[in-house]
Amino acid sequence: MDALPLTGRMALVTGGSGDIGSGVARALASAGADVAITYLGHSQGADATLQAIEACGRRGLLVQLDQRDPASIDACVEKLTREVGRLDILVNNAAWNIGIPFADLDRLDAHTWDRVLETNLRGPFLLARGFAPLLKASGAGHIVNIASTGGIAPASSSIAYSASKAGLIHLTRCLAVAMAPEVAVNCIAPGLVKGTRMANRLPDAVARMAQQQAVLGRAGQIDDIAGQVLAFVTSTSISGQVMAIDGGLPLAMR
Ligand SMILES: NC(=O)c1ccc[n+]([C@@H]2O[C@H](COP(=O)([O-])OP(=O)(O)OC[C@H]3O[C@@H](n4cnc5c(N)ncnc54)[C@H](OP(=O)(O)O)[C@@H]3O)[C@@H](O)[C@H]2O)c1
DSSP character string of the chain = -PPPTTTT-EEEETTTTSHHHHHHHHHHHHTT-EEEEEESS-HHHHHHHHHHHHHTT--EEEEE--TT-HHHHHHHHHHHHHHT---SEEEE---------TT-GGGS-HHHHHHHHIIIIIHHHHHHHHHHHHHHHHSSEEEEEE--GGGTSS-SS-HHHHHHHHHHHHHHHHHHHHTTTTEEEEEEEE--BTT-HHHHTS-HHHHHHHHHHSTTSS-B-HHHHHHHHHHHHT-SS--S-EEEESS--GGG--
14, 17, 19, 20: residue to mutate for ligand 1 pocket, most atoms within 8 A of CB: 20
Q: Which residue's alpha carbon is at the smallest distance from atom 47 of ligand 1?
A: 95
The percentage of residues in the chain with a pLDDT greater than 90, rounded to a whole number, is: 86
Q: Identify the CATH number of the domain in which residue 186 sits.
A: 3.40.50.720
Give the Å distance between the CA of 32 and the centre of ligand 1: 24
Give the Å distance between the CA of 99 and the centre of ligand 1: 14
205: burial class by Cβ within 10 Å (0-12, 13-18, 19+)?
exposed
Give the Å distance between the CA of 197 and the centre of ligand 1: 9
Q: What is the pLDDT of residue 105?
A: 97
Indicate the pLDDT class of residue 156, thresholds 50, 70 and 90: confident
Q: Which atom of ligand 1 is nearest to the CA of 46?
A: 40
Q: Any residues with Cβ below 6 Å from ligand 1, and which?
A: 15, 17-21, 39-42, 45, 65-68, 93-96, 119, 146, 148, 190, 192-193, 196-199
Give the Å distance between the CA of 20 and the centre of ligand 1: 7
Query: Is 49 domain-assigned?
Result: yes
Q: How far apart are CA 7 and CA 30, in angstroms?
A: 10
Query: Is 201 domain-assigned?
Result: no
Which residue range forms the structural domain that includes residue 234? Answer: 10-190+221-240
How does pLDDT run across 77-118, given as a tens digit for each residue?
A: 999 999 999 999 999 999 999 989 999 999 999 999 999 999
Q: What are phi and psi of 253, to 5 degrees?
A: -85, 105
Residue numbers annotated as active site: 161
Q: What is the pLDDT of residue 201?
A: 76
Global confidence as pTM: 0.97
Query: Is 246 domain-assigned?
Result: no
Query: Is 99 domain-assigned?
Result: yes
Query: Is 52 domain-assigned?
Result: yes
Query: Is 210 domain-assigned?
Result: no
How many domains in the chain? 1
Q: Which atom of ligand 1 is nearest to the CA of 115?
A: 31
Q: What is the pLDDT of residue 49?
A: 98
Query: Is 199 domain-assigned?
Result: no
Residue count (the chain): 254
Per-residue pLDDT for 2 more than 80?
A: no
CA atoms within 13 A on the CB side of 147: 31
Cβ–Cβ contacts within 10 Å for residue 203, how many? 11
Query: Is 173 domain-assigned?
Result: yes
Q: What is the pLDDT of residue 208?
A: 81
What value does the mean pLDDT of the chain take? 95
